[in-house]
Structure 1
Amino acid sequence: MLTLTASAQNLSVSGLQVEHQINPMAVEPAIPRMSWKLASPGKNILQRSYEIRVGTDRNAVRSGKNLYWTSKKNTDQSILVEYEGPALKPGQRYYWQVRVTDNYGHISPWSPLQFWQMGLKPSNWKAQWISVPGADTSLASPLFRKKFTLSKAVKSASAYITSRGLYEAYINGTRIGQDYLTPGWTSYKDHLQYQVYDVTALLSKGDNVLAAMLGDGWYKGRIGFSYQKAFYGDTRALLMQMEVEYTDGSREILLSDESWRTAFGPVLSSNIYDGETYDATKERSGWTTPAYKEDADWKKVRKLDYGYDNLIGMSADGVRKQESIKAVKILKTPKGETVVDFGQNLVGWVELKVKGPENTKITLSHAEVLDKAGYFYTDNLRSAKQQNVYYLKGNKEQFFSPHFSFQGFRYARVEGFPGDLKPEDLTAVVIHSDMEPAGSFNSSNPLLNQLQHNIAWGQKGNFVDVPTDCPQRDERLGWTGDAQAFYNTAAYNMDVSGFFTKWLKDVKADQHKDGSIPFVVPDVLTPNDAGSAGWGDVVTIIPWGMYLTYGDKRILETQYSSMKAWVDFITSRSRQNLWNTGSHFGDWLFYRPDDDNDGRAAVTDKYLIAQCFYTHSTQLLINAAKVLGKNEDHAKYSSLLNDIKTAFVKEYLTPNGRLVSSTQTAYVLALQFDMLPENLRASAAERLVQNIRDYGNHLTTGFLGTPYLCHALTKSGYTNVAYDLLMQETYPSWLYPVKMGATTIWERWDGIKPDGSFQTPSMNSYNHYAYGAIGDWMYQNIAGIQAGEPGYKKIIIKPIAGGKLTHAEGSYESSYGTIRSKWRIENNKFKLTVTIPPNTTAEVFVPDTQGKSYKSFHVGSGEHYFEG
C-alpha cells in the first residue's frame, strides 16, 4: 500500500487545455472538457480538490466577479473535467482559471488565465460563398478583396474562414494566422473545417481591407495516383465572416458577399503533387492593403449556394512552420546539375532568396536521394513533379516559397539561378501539424539514437493534417493500415490527441454502409475498395489507443458505433466464424529474398492474418463495451470472441502447435492477440525464436507483423531475442537503413540495397513511417515507460537491460506531466532514476544487471533513485 509522506511547497497549476487544445477558437462539443497539470517540488503530491471559475470577461474572471459558472469538487480528477454550467453560446469566448488543493491541504494560486471560444452553428453563418465569375477553369489562383470602413474603435474581432480549395487570407496587408494548407484535408462531403482567428490587432479605425487567395489543394486539384482531378468539386470558393465588437459595446458583422471583387494574381498554377508556378511580374503590389488603387480590371464575384451544414470547427491544431534548416552543401552531379543538400529528409518547402533580371526562370526540383553515381534521383516520385517554378520581377532581391503545395525532400536541384548560388540563398522550411513534442529517447548506442531520430522525422513528415503514408510521390494518402500500425509510437513521440480526434471523424464518416473501412481516409480511391484486415482495424485500434493514452472515454463513445459496425461487417463476411473471404493486403512488404529457391519468402496466409485481426478488433470492442457499460454487447461479443478463437485453432493450428504459415508474422500475431491455447503458447514462442535464429537474427515481418514482433517476444520471455533483432545492422533490420545513411524511416527494408542500387521505383519511399512502430517497444521496454491505467493516472516503470546498452533514458509528457526514466549500468549495478508527475502514482520495477529478476516499489510523485 502506498504511504504518502513529505509536504508540498510552491504548489501551482499550469498546462490548461480544453478538448486537448490550448486556447481553442472553435470548440464543437456542447460540453467541453478541461484539463490541467499540477506542479510541485514536493513528493507524493495528489490533488484533493479543484475549483474552476468561468466568465466572459477576462478581468471579471481574474477578480472572481460576475462569473458565468463556478465549480468546486473534492476529487483527484484533473484531466477531461466536463463543463457543467449554463448552456454555452456559439461564437462566445469564455475565460477560465483553476486552482487546486493537494493532499496536504496546500492551496495553489489561481492558474494563468486561459480561454476557449465556442464554434458556430450552421444558423450562425451569414456570409455567402463566393467564387470567380463564370466557370472556374483557370489554373491560376484567384484573388478576392473587400474594402470597408470601421467608424469606431475596435475592442475585439474574430474572423471565421474556410474555402473549397486552399486559402490564404489577409487583413490590411498582414497574413491572417500561422496555419498553412487551410482549411485542411477532411472528407469534404461530410466535414469541411473552418478556422477562427483573433484579428483584433490587425484592424484599425478607418479604411480596412479583407483579402484572400485560393488554390486547388486536395479539393479541386489532382489527388490519388489515378490522375483524379476535381474529386470533391470543380469550383474554388471562399467563405469569410468577421465579427467585430466595438469599445462602446456595439457589434458589426463583415461578410463575403457579392460586393467583393476578384482577379487573378501571380500564382499561375498550384498542385499538391506537382508544385507551384509563380510569376512575380504578375504581382499586384499592395492588393491586400487599403491603399491599393489599381483595381480597374477586377470583376464582381459570383455567389454560390453551398450552405453551411457540413462546416465544423477545428479539433486539432493546423499545419504550421516548425523549423528552418540551412543548406549543408551545394554540389554538382555528374551531369553538372546544381544540387543543394539539406542533410535531412524533410517535408515542407524551400525558401529562395534571389536577385536577377526580369522574367528569369528558376526551377526548384526536389528529391529524397542521389543514386550511387551521384545523380539526382526522382524515379521514385512516379508522376509527381515536386517542382516549383519562379519568374523574377525587376532586378531587386526577392523571396519565394510555395503557397499551396509542399514537397518531401532532402535535395533540391536549382536550375536557372542567376549568378553564383550560395548556401545562404536557400532555407528548407519544415511543416507539419502543430503537435507538441511528447517523448524523448536516448541510449548508449548511437545507431539506436539515430533510429529514434528517423522515427520522429518520419512522423513529422507524414503528419501533415492527415497521417499520410508518404509525403513525396503521387500518393500522400491517409492509409489506414499505416496509421494503426504506428499509433502507439506516434503517441509517445508527440501529443496526437487532437490530430487523431480530427482524423477519426473522417474514418467514421467514410465508413461504408456495410461497415467496411476504406483503405485510405479521406477516401479518394475506388468506393468498393474496403475491408482489408489490418487496414480496416484502424477503426478499433486507434480509438482504444486514444483511451489508453489520454484517458479519453468520449472518443470511445463517439467511435463506438463505428467500431461495432466494423466487427459486424467482418462477421457478415465470415463463414463458420472464419474470416476467409475478401481481398486483403496481408503482411504488406514482408521479407522477400531475390532468389527464393528454398521457399524462404516469409509469406503468411492472408486469411490467418485476417482471423487474428478479427479477434483483435472483437477484443477491443469488448473492452470498449465494458468501459461504456454496454453489458449486452459485452456479453454478445465475448461469446463471439470465443467462437473466433476456437475456429482459428481448428483451421490454422496443428495439435502440436505449428501454424499453417510457419512465419514470424504468423506466430507474432497468434501470440500477441492470444489466439493460442495456454499449453501451446510456449512452443509457439520457441518456433518464433527458432525462425528468427534460422534467418541469422533477422526479421522477416511486414507492415502488420512488425509492430508486434518485439512485444510478442518480450511477452513470451524472449526480450534478449528482441534486442538481437533491434541491434541487427544488416538487411533486413531497423538499423540497416541507419547504416546506409537514412534520416527517416524507409517504406521497404532494402530501399537502398547493399550494392547501392534502389528497390523498384514504383513503390520505394524514403519517408514512410510504418516500420518506425518499433519506437513503441523502445519506450516501453528500454526506457520502461508504460501506462498502468488509462491516461497514465497510474504509471509502470519497467526498463529491461540488454543489447549491450550501458545506459538509456526516456521521457514522456503525459496528461499529468513529465514522466522520466533514466538508467545506467555502473560497477555491475543497475542504477535507475525515475520522475513521476503530481497527481499520479507509479509502480517501479528495478531489475538486476542481467534483467532476470526485479524488485518492485510503489511511489508517488517526485524524483526517486533505485539500485538493482
Structure 2
Amino acid sequence: AIGAQLGSGWYRSHLGPERPTPNHYGDDVALLLQVEVTYEDGSHNTIITDSSWKSSTGEVRYAEIYNGATIDARLAKTGWTKAKFDDGAWSGVKVQNYSKDNLIATYNEPVKKHETFKPVKIITTPKGEKVIDFGQNLVGWVQLKVSGKAGDSIKISHTEVLDKEGNFYTENLRAAKAQNIYVLKGGGVEFFEPKFTWQGFRYIKLEGIAGNLDTSNFTAVAIYSDMKPTGTFTCSNPLLNQLQHNIQWGQKGNFLDVPTDCPQRDERLGWTGDAQVFSRTASFNMDVHNFFVKWLKDVSADQYKSGSIPYIVPDVFTDGKSEVGGSTGWGDVATIVPWNMYLAYGDVQILRDQYPGMKAWVGFMERQAKNDLWNTGTHFGDWLFYTVNNDVDGSSAITSKSLIAQCFYAWSTQMLINTARVLGNKEDESYYTSLLEKIKAAYVKEYVTGNGLISSDTQTAYTLALAFDMLPENLRAQAAARLAANIGRYGDHLTTGFLGTPYLCHVLSRFGYADVAYKLLLQETYPSWLYPIKMGATTIWERWNGIKPDGTFETPTMNSFNHYAYGAIGDWMYRVVAGIDTKTEAPGYK
C-alpha cells in the first residue's frame, strides 16, 4: 500500500512575523509522486499520482506551523496504510496539470527525530498551572501517553522560560499559539504526537489531565535536519563547555530544512543575516554541506532581478511586485556563505553554482553606490548591539549603518575576487580587484580621519575595518589599539551586535590582543557570552540580556531564547582556541 498525509506546511500556513498571513504560495494542498518499482524477475512498474487515487480526512483536524495541531483520535481511519483497507467511502481526487519549471530538485538531508528527553521536574506554578520542565530548550514536540473517556480533550502549551515569579510565560511568542490539542477516543492507553508543526520549548503546560502527572507518560523529541556531527569542543572550563553545548543546540533547533532565526514565535523564517554570520561555525559543528547547498539554491531562486537579496529565504515578505531586501550583512549571504562552504568542504561546484548570484549582489551594491560609496537603502545595521536606556552620556554602541554597508560591500567584493580566482576567471578577478580598491578608498575618505579615528568610535566599526582590511597598513595597529581601549572602557565587555560579534575576537587575536579576546570570552556579566549561561540558558539567546539580572525580561516583541547568531563565537573557539582552521589555499582541510 502507498499513501500520504498532506498538511499546510510552509506552503499555506500562516507565515510572517507579528501579523502572519496564510496562503502565501497557494490555498490548496496537492501530492506529486512517482515511484519506480523493479521486481525480482526484472520487470518494471511506475506508480504515479493520477485519477485512480482516493482521498479523505482523518484525525488531524488542524495543523499550522505557528499555532500547533488539533488531533481527534475518534476520527482516525484505522488501517488506512495497509493494502486491504476498504476505501469505498473515500472521495476521488482532482487531477491538475501545473508547470514544473519552478521545481528545484533537493538532495539535502530530511528533518528527522533525534534526541529524546524525559521530564526533569514537575512544577505547580504560583498560578496553579501544571508544568513540566524537560531541562533543555529544544525544538520538536512532546509525545504523550494518556487514558480517558471518548471526547476528553488535553491541551499542551509550550514555552522556553518561566517568568520571574515562576509562572508559565508565553508573551514572547507574540501571535503564535504553540499549542497541541488532543481529543481522546477512549478505551485504553492512547499515544499522541502532532503532525505538520513543531514547537520551540523547554517547558510545557498541561490542561485537561486530572490528578498527578506521571513523568513516564511524557517524552520530548528533538527534530532537525539529519546532519551528522563533525566537531566538538571541550575544555577545563565548564561554562565554556556549556557555551559550546548552547551553540550546538541553537543550531539543531534552527536547522530544520532552512536556517531559521528562531523556532518558537510567529516567525521561524530563513533570515539571511543570521545564516550568514553563523555559517562558518555551523560547518565546524555538523556536516552542513548539503543543507547549505540546498538553501543557497533557494537564495538564488528568490534573488530579485535587481540582484538584491530578500531579508528572508524562502521570501514570504514580497507580494511579487516589490523587493523587500537589500540590507547589508543580510544580502551578503549570497557571497559569504558560498565561500565559507568552499573553505569547509573544498567543493568548487558550490562556487560555480552561486557565482551568478554573487556577481548580481555585488552588482546591485555597485549600482546603488555613488562615487564608490554605498550610503543609501534600508539596513538593519549592527542588529541588537549594546544600548543604554536614557543614554545621557552616549554609552550606546551605535555604529553608522552606511559605514557598515561600505565594509560589507568591500567584503562581498573580496569574496567575489576569491571566487573568480578559484574559477579561473581572470577578467572578473581584475575588474573586481580594481573596484575593491575604489571601495576602500571611498571608505577611508568618508569615515576615517588622518590619525585613524573612525567616525563611529565603536567596537563594531573598528572590528569590521580591521577584519575586512578597510584601512591602509599604517593605520591598522592604532585601530586595533583603539578597539582594545574601547573594550576596556566598557569594563572588558563587548558591545557588538549581529554583524560585529562574529569578527570581534578574530580581530583581537590577529592584531596582538588575544588576552583581551579571552577576557571577552570568559566574561560572566552582561553583556557577554557567559551571562546567559549564568542565568540558566541551554541555547543561545537573541539578546545579550533576554533575562535581566533582576529576573525580568527584555521587550517581548523581540526576545527569543533560541537564536543562534551570537553563537558565531564558536568559529573563533574552533579556529583560534583549538587551532583547527581552514585555509584558502587548502580548502576542505586538504
TM bucket (normalised to shorter chain) is over 0.9
Cross-structure match for 2:367: 572
Match status 1:442 vs 2:240: no
> 1:292 deviation in Å?
2.2
- Once residues 431 and 308 of structure 2 are traced to their aligned partners in structure 1, the CA distance between those partners, rounded to angstroms, is 20
Alignment of structure 1 residues 348-387 onto 2, 5 Å: 348-387=140-179
> 1:530 deviation in Å?
1.1
Which residue of 72, 77, 96 corresponds with 1:279?
72
Give secondary structure in 1 for the equivalent of 2:107: coil
Counterpart AA for 2:77: R
Bigger share in strand? 1
> 1:256 deviation in Å?
1.5
- Once residues 464 and 213 of structure 1 are traced to their aligned partners in structure 2, the CA distance between those partners, rounded to angstroms, is 19
Cross-structure match for 2:316: 524
Which residue of 428, 441, 453 corresponds with 2:220?
428
Alignment of structure 1 residues 25-174 onto 2, 5 Å: none
Give secondary structure in 2 for the equivalent of 1:215: coil
Give secondary structure in 2 for the equivalent of 1:414: strand
**Equivalent pair of 1:345/1:368 in contact (CA under 8 Å):** yes
Give secondary structure in 2 for the equivalent of 1:277: strand
Which residue of 524, 546, 552 corresponds with 1:729?
524
- Once residues 432 and 101 of structure 2 are traced to their aligned partners in structure 1, the CA distance between those partners, rounded to angstroms, is 36
> 1:792 deviation in Å?
5.1
Does the C-alpha gap of structure 1 residues 636 and 437 become closer, same or farther in structure 2, counting only changes over 3 Å?
same
Match status 1:256 vs 2:54: no
Which residue of 600, 604, 607 corresponds with 2:402?
607
**Equivalent pair of 2:16/2:267 in contact (CA under 8 Å):** yes
Give secondary structure in 1 for the equivalent of 2:525: coil
TM-score with structure 1 length normalisation? Answer: 0.67
Which residue of 63, 69, 73 corresponds with 1:270?
63
Match status 1:619 vs 2:414: yes
Alignment of structure 1 residues 181-330 onto 2, 5 Å: 209-225=1-17, 226-293=19-86, 295-330=87-122
**Equivalent pair of 1:276/1:404 in contact (CA under 8 Å):** yes
Q: Which runs of 5+ in 1 are unaligned?
A: 1-208, 795-839, 841-868
Cross-structure match for 1:663: 458
> 1:260 deviation in Å?
1.3
> 1:290 deviation in Å?
2.4
Give secondary structure in 2 for the equivalent of 1:212: coil
Match status 1:738 vs 2:533: yes
- Once residues 254 and 726 of structure 1 are traced to their aligned partners in structure 2, the CA distance between those partners, rounded to angstroms, is 57
Give secondary structure in 2 for the equivalent of 1:450: helix
- Once residues 790 and 317 of structure 1 are traced to their aligned partners in structure 2, the CA distance between those partners, rounded to angstroms, is 29
> 1:419 deviation in Å?
4.2
1:204-235 Cα shifts (integer Å, max 9, x gaps) = xxxxx222111011101111123211110111
- Once residues 577 and 311 of structure 2 are traced to their aligned partners in structure 1, the CA distance between those partners, rounded to angstroms, is 33
Cross-structure match for 2:432: 637
Counterpart AA for 1:411: Y
Cross-structure match for 1:190: none
1:470-526 Cα shifts (integer Å, max 9, x gaps) = 000000010000001001110101110000000000111111001000000010113
- Once residues 570 and 709 of structure 1 are traced to their aligned partners in structure 2, the CA distance between those partners, rounded to angstroms, is 25
Most deviating of 484-493 and 297-306: 297-306
Counterpart AA for 1:308: K
- Once residues 376 and 615 of structure 1 are traced to their aligned partners in structure 2, the CA distance between those partners, rounded to angstroms, is 47
> 1:288 deviation in Å?
1.6
Give secondary structure in 1 for the equivalent of 2:95: strand
> 1:332 deviation in Å?
0.5
- Once residues 499 and 664 of structure 1 are traced to their aligned partners in structure 2, the CA distance between those partners, rounded to angstroms, is 32
1:777-827 Cα shifts (integer Å, max 9, x gaps) = 011111111123566565xxxxxxxxxxxxxxxxxxxxxxxxxxxxxxxxx
Alignment of structure 1 residues 397-416 onto 2, 5 Å: 397-416=189-208
Give secondary structure in 1 for the equivalent of 2:227: coil
- Once residues 45 and 583 of structure 2 are traced to their aligned partners in structure 1, the CA distance between those partners, rounded to angstroms, is 52
- Once residues 383 and 47 of structure 2 are traced to their aligned partners in structure 1, the CA distance between those partners, rounded to angstroms, is 52
Give secondary structure in 2 for the equivalent of 1:299: coil
Which residue of 269, 272, 285 corresponds with 1:493?
285
Which residue of 683, 693, 702 corresponds with 2:488?
693
Which residue of 367, 371, 387 corresponds with 1:592?
387
Does the C-alpha gap of structure 1 residues 782 and 602 become closer, same or farther in structure 2, counting only changes over 3 Å?
same
TM-score with structure 2 length normalisation? Answer: 0.98
- Once residues 518 and 791 of structure 1 are traced to their aligned partners in structure 2, the CA distance between those partners, rounded to angstroms, is 32
Which residue of 265, 275, 288 corresponds with 1:473?
265
Cross-structure match for 1:776: 571
The alignment-based identity, stated in percent, is 61
> 1:254 deviation in Å?
1.9
Counterpart AA for 2:197: S
Cross-structure match for 1:682: 477
Give secondary structure in 1 for the equivalent of 2:31: strand
1:127-149 Cα shifts (integer Å, max 9, x gaps) = xxxxxxxxxxxxxxxxxxxxxxx
Which residue of 306, 309, 313 corresponds with 1:514?
306
**Equivalent pair of 1:618/1:641 in contact (CA under 8 Å):** yes
Q: Structure 1 runs of 4+ off > 6 angstroms?
A: none
Give secondary structure in 1 for the equivalent of 2:453: coil
Root mean square deviation, CA, Å: 1.1
Counterpart AA for 2:30: A
Give secondary structure in 1 for the equivalent of 2:234: strand
Most deviating of 452-461 and 240-249: 240-249
Does the C-alpha gap of structure 1 residues 353 and 411 become closer, same or farther in structure 2, counting only changes over 3 Å?
same
Alignment of structure 1 residues 808-819 onto 2, 5 Å: none
**Equivalent pair of 2:343/2:583 in contact (CA under 8 Å):** no
- Once residues 315 and 526 of structure 2 are traced to their aligned partners in structure 1, the CA distance between those partners, rounded to angstroms, is 34
Counterpart AA for 2:114: Q
**Equivalent pair of 2:344/2:588 in contact (CA under 8 Å):** no
- Once residues 210 and 741 of structure 1 are traced to their aligned partners in structure 2, the CA distance between those partners, rounded to angstroms, is 47
Equivalent residue pairs, number: 586
Q: Work out which structure has the larger RCO, using CA pairs closer than 8 Å and 6 or more positions apart in sequence.
A: 2
Counterpart AA for 1:740: M
Does the C-alpha gap of structure 1 residues 589 and 793 become closer, same or farther in structure 2, counting only changes over 3 Å?
closer
Which residue of 127, 148, 151 corresponds with 1:335?
127
**Equivalent pair of 2:342/2:588 in contact (CA under 8 Å):** no
Bigger Cα Rg: 1
Counterpart AA for 2:427: E
- Once residues 290 and 673 of structure 1 are traced to their aligned partners in structure 2, the CA distance between those partners, rounded to angstroms, is 62
**Equivalent pair of 1:517/1:566 in contact (CA under 8 Å):** yes
**Equivalent pair of 1:441/1:452 in contact (CA under 8 Å):** yes
Does the C-alpha gap of structure 1 residues 581 and 793 become closer, same or farther in structure 2, counting only changes over 3 Å?
closer
**Equivalent pair of 2:345/2:588 in contact (CA under 8 Å):** no
- Once residues 529 and 358 of structure 1 are traced to their aligned partners in structure 2, the CA distance between those partners, rounded to angstroms, is 49
Cross-structure match for 2:348: 553
**Equivalent pair of 1:547/1:791 in contact (CA under 8 Å):** no
- Once residues 727 and 247 of structure 1 are traced to their aligned partners in structure 2, the CA distance between those partners, rounded to angstroms, is 63
**Equivalent pair of 1:549/1:790 in contact (CA under 8 Å):** no
- Once residues 55 and 97 of structure 2 are traced to their aligned partners in structure 1, the CA distance between those partners, rounded to angstroms, is 18
**Equivalent pair of 2:112/2:223 in contact (CA under 8 Å):** yes
- Once residues 123 and 64 of structure 2 are traced to their aligned partners in structure 1, the CA distance between those partners, rounded to angstroms, is 28
**Equivalent pair of 1:533/1:586 in contact (CA under 8 Å):** yes
1:417-463 Cα shifts (integer Å, max 9, x gaps) = 24432111100000000000010001111111100000000000000
Most deviating of 655-664 and 233-242: 233-242
Give secondary structure in 2 for the equivalent of 1:213: coil
